[in-house]
Each structure stands twice: as structure tokens, then as C-alpha cells.
Amino acid sequence: MKRVFPILAILTALLLSYGLYLALVVAPTEQTMGDVQRIFYYHVPSAWTAFLLFSLNFLASIQYLVRRNPFSDRLASVVVIAIAVLTCIGAYVVTLPEGVEKSAVATTGIGIALLYFGIRKFFSEQGTDILALVTAEVGVVFCTVVLVTGPLWARPVWGIWWTWDIRLTSTLVLWLIYLSYLMLRRFSDSGQTPVLAAALAVFGALDVPLVYFSIWIFRTQHPQPVIGGGGSIDPRMLHVLLINWLAFLSFAGLVCWSRYRLEVLQREVEEAQALDSLADARGTR
């Protein structure tokens, strides 16, 4: 695995450079906004990556909570399957808000179930706790990028840096929730901290769909979605957007991987130090 990481890091750096070149040079200039619209190629992929990371944090937190009891573990698996099935059926039976594509809703339901069972298969109980911490931390970094690049786009286009619009406000609240989650994990010494943090993450994740669907449900100043929401986009712009998202996803994956290894190492050192202190106290050394 140690050899794979540098290769992936080089490939990611190349992909990020290619994405930057496409965004600044190749993508066509938008007619009304001009060059400032190119912020979109960093703002939107960062937002999607943050949402994905927070969703992973949510699923890992649930896993951490339910695995402590075999019955709740089985029950949660059944509930996740039921939600995926109901989402697929509901997408084609229930009348969705205008612009929301049925296939996008169904795919989201299936995707959540696949991620849940993927985490269940590949991570131990301790692993799910570390995964939750790592995804929240990296998610906050990407959410910070969203909150910085958004106003830099809004100032020349809207004439204001910020407005208390539902999309913007709910994104700020999301960032604050996960920042408080990280502060809880950083400063609480209690043995129950991972459980409390997991519970906070489950409630915090409720804000993710609110942020995502707010532009469909409420009247908002934020531009309407261009994918899966009935909006239209030049295919060349879509290509640049997807390449940049892929680049940011690879980058986020690598950062999460490094942070995960760092956390595992940190916990091993803390455990060794605790055993050392115990041995010193007993005078067995």
C-alpha cells in the first residue's frame, strides 16, 4: 500500500492540474457573468465533495452506534435496505418537486445503502469511529472552500458578499455543526466522547439534505442546480465540472487516507504510552 500512495498522489496532482487548465483556459466564457463564472468549477465540486464526506461521516457514525449491540446492528441493516427500496419506489410514485429527477433520487437511495454496507464490511468498530472523525475534518476543509469561494463569486455577480438566503445560511450552519463536532472530539476527555460525537453527527447530518434540496424547496437567490435539477449547461462546461469533481474526489480520498493512517498511529502511540505509565506505576519495569 505504501507504494500505491505516491503513484495515486502523482495521478491526483496531474488530474488537478488538468482540471485547473480546463477551468481557466478551455472552458467557454459564460456570456452574462464573464470569467468570474469559472469559480463554479471549484465551488461546486468542493460542495459535492463536502456533502459526500459528511454523508460518509453520518453512515460511519450510525455504524459506530449500532455495532455496539447485535440487535440494533441487524435492525439498522434492515432499515437501510427498506429506505433504499422505498426511495426507489417513491421516486417513481410520489410527485417530486419541479426539476428533481426521479433517477437521481433513486440512485441516491441505492448509493447510500451501498456506502453503508461498504463501511460495514471494510471497517471495524474502531475503524468506523476513525472514519467518522476523518471525513468530518476533511469535509470541514472542503466546506470552508465553499464558504470562501461563494462570496467571491457573489460580490461581482450579485453586488453583495453575503445574503441570509436559505442555501447560504444552511451551509454556514452545516459548517458550524461539524466544527462543533470536531471541537467536541478535540477537547473532550471523556471515554464517552466517540458516542456523543456520533450522536451529534447523526443530528448534524440532517442539515445536509436541507442544504442540498433547499434550492428546490424554497425561493432562493442561489442559482438553480445544473445537474439532476432540470437546469441546462453547455456540455463543454459540464465536462470541465466533472473532471474537476473527479480531481477533488481523488484529492479528498488521499487526504482522508493520510489522515486515517495518522489517527491510527496516534491511537497506537497513546495506547502504548498508557501501558507504559501503567507499567511504571506498578513498578514492573
Partner 1 sequence: MNFLYAAYISTWVIHVAYLVHLARRYSKLRDEIQSMKKK
Could you tell me which residues come within 8 angstroms of residue 33 by beta carbon, excluding any fewer than 6 positions away? 156, 157
Instruction: Please identify, using beta-carbon distances, which residue of 18 and 216 lies nearer to partner 1.
Output: 18
Instruction: For the beta carbon of residue 213, count every other beta carbon within 10 angstroms.
Output: 16
- In three state form, how does the secondary structure of 180-249 look? HHHHHHHHCCCCCHHHHHHHHHHHHCCHHHHHHHHHHHCCCCCCCCCCCCCCCCCHHHHHHHHHHHHHHH
Instruction: Please identify, using beta-carbon distances, which residue of 212 and 260 lies nearer to partner 1.
Output: 260
Number of residues in the chain: 285
State the Cα–Cα distance between residues 189 and 272, nearest whole angstrom: 18
Least distance (Å) between residue 150 CB and partner 1: 9
Q: Which residues bind partner 1 (CB under 8 A)?
A: 20, 24, 35-36, 38-39, 42-43, 46, 138, 141, 144-145, 148-149, 152-153, 155-156, 251, 255, 258-259, 262, 265-266, 269, 272-273, 276
Instruction: Please identify, using beta-carbon distances, which residue of 101 and 263 lies nearer to partner 1.
Output: 263
Least distance (Å) between residue 254 CB and partner 1: 10
Instruction: Please identify, using beta-carbon distances, which residue of 69 and 273 lies nearer to partner 1.
Output: 273
DSSP code at position 67: T
Least distance (Å) between residue 53 CB and partner 1: 13
Closest listed residue to residue 250, CA positions, set 67, 3, 15, 37: 15
Least distance (Å) between residue 92 CB and partner 1: 38
Instruction: Please identify, using beta-carbon distances, which residue of 94 and 152 lies nearer to partner 1.
Output: 152
State the Cα–Cα distance between residues 122 and 257, nearest whole angstrom: 14
Least distance (Å) between residue 210 CB and partner 1: 24
Instruction: Please identify, using beta-carbon distances, which residue of 35 and 234 lies nearer to partner 1.
Output: 35
Query: Which grid cell is 2?
Result: 505504501
DSSP code at position 2: T
How buried is residue 117: exposed, middle or buried, by Cβ count under 10 Å (0-12/13-18/19+)? middle
Least distance (Å) between residue 221 CB and partner 1: 18
